[in-house]
């Protein structure tokens, strides 16, 4: 048995109505009532960001906190269930029932200590490609084992599959100090987990309605020495891995 968890704010009824039209299995989705981080009072907010800042040197925005707390609720629900795999959706996912079927088929081909990212890379800009090795071509889209040096080139947590082991690992990290949900290079690196990728679901390219994207733009970004070193390492290792048979999964525009 597998479960599908849909993370959605109570007020976002229109988004859920659209999903119901697209997914014939919608009624079997387990609805996770999302946390709106913007509604936290100052005391609650600082109680959460204090350990996070100490652990990661970063202040999470209210939207990032709400997103992470919502995904934590999904992990807890999955771990309390009898399901083998959990497909976790955010309510802006674009896809259909066939893609759901293929997501679980793809997940059955990966080790237990792994996460399957099911696409949702649309509309993102950046200079890096992601590299991996094809491990299965029997589905509508190839299944890739992603190079650990490309984990940082995969963003979002809008559609992904967890095993019980990977859900437990992620939950422990967030319980210790809440982390941004889609910082996959860190989240997977803590327990040496593997990432698999299959481009089954899409994300809207218009990001104007995204609270997280808006807050991230307001916060801005300026590269520091650590970021430059990370860039150099990515370029170096991606060149070496190409010689070892790794292929480009996608290239950002």
What is the domain partition of the chain in residue ranges?
Answer: 2-251
Q: What is the dihedral of CA 199, 204, 208, 209, to 10 degrees?
A: -100
Segment 77-93 shows an average pLDDT of 98
d(CA 168, CA 233): 30
Confidence of residue 202 (pLDDT cuts 50, 70, 90): very high
Strands of 247-251's sheet in order across = 30-33, 2-8, 85-90, 159-163, 114-119, 194-201, 143-146, 129-136, 247-251
> What mean pLDDT value characterizes the chain?
89
pLDDT in tens, 161-173: 999 999 999 999 9
62-66, 94-98, 150-154, 237-241, range with the lowest pLDDT? 237-241
Confidence of residue 129 (pLDDT cuts 50, 70, 90): confident
Instruction: State mean pLDDT over 4-29.
Output: 98
pLDDT score of 225:
59
Residue 87 burial by CB count (10 A; 0-12/13-18/19+): exposed, middle or buried? buried
Is residue 215's pLDDT more than 80? no
pLDDT higher at 186 or 238: 186
Token duo for residue 12:
């976002």
Half-sphere exposure of 23 (CA within 13 A, CB side): 24
What's the confidence (pLDDT) of residue 238? 58
Task: State what percent of residues in the chain have pLDDT above 70.
Answer: 82
Q: Domain 2-251, CATH 3.40.50 — does that match?
A: no
Mean pLDDT on 43-70: 96
pLDDT above 90 coverage of the chain, percent: 75
Check residues 199 and 215 and name the one with the higher pLDDT: 199
Mean pLDDT of 222-233: 56
DSSP structural state of residue 158: S
């Amino acid at each position: 048995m597998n479960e599908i968890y849909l993370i959605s704010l109570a007020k976002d009824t229109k988004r859920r109505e659209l999903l119901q039209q697209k997914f014939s299995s919608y009624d079997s989705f387990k609805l996770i009532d999302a946390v709106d981080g913007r509604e936290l009072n100052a005391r609650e907010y600082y109680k959460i960001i204090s350990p996070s800042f100490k652990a990661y040197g970063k202040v999470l925005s209210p939207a990032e906190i709400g997103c992470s707390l919502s995904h934590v609720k999904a992990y807890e629900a999955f771990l309390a269930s009898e399901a083998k795999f959990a497909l976790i959706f955010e309510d802006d996912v674009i896809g259909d029932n066939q893609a759901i079927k293929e997501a679980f088929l793809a997940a059955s081909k990966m080790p237990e200590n792994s996460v399957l990212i099911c696409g949702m890379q649309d509309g993102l800009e950046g200079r890096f490609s992601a590299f991996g090795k094809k491990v299965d071509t029997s589905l509508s889209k190839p299944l890739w084992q992603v190079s650990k040096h490309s984990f940082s080139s995969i963003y979002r947590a809008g559609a992904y599959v967890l095993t019980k082991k990977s859900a437990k690992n992620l939950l422990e990290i967030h319980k210790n100090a809440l982390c941004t949900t889609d910082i996959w290079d860190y989240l997977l690196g803590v327990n040496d987990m593997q990432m698999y990728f299959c481009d089954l679901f899409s994300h809207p390219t218009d990001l104007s309605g995204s609270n997280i994207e808006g807050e991230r733009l307001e916060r801005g970004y300026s590269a520091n020495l650590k970021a430059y070193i990370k860039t150099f390492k990515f370029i170096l290792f991606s060149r070496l891995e190409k010689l070892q048979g790794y292929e480009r999964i996608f290239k950002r525009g």
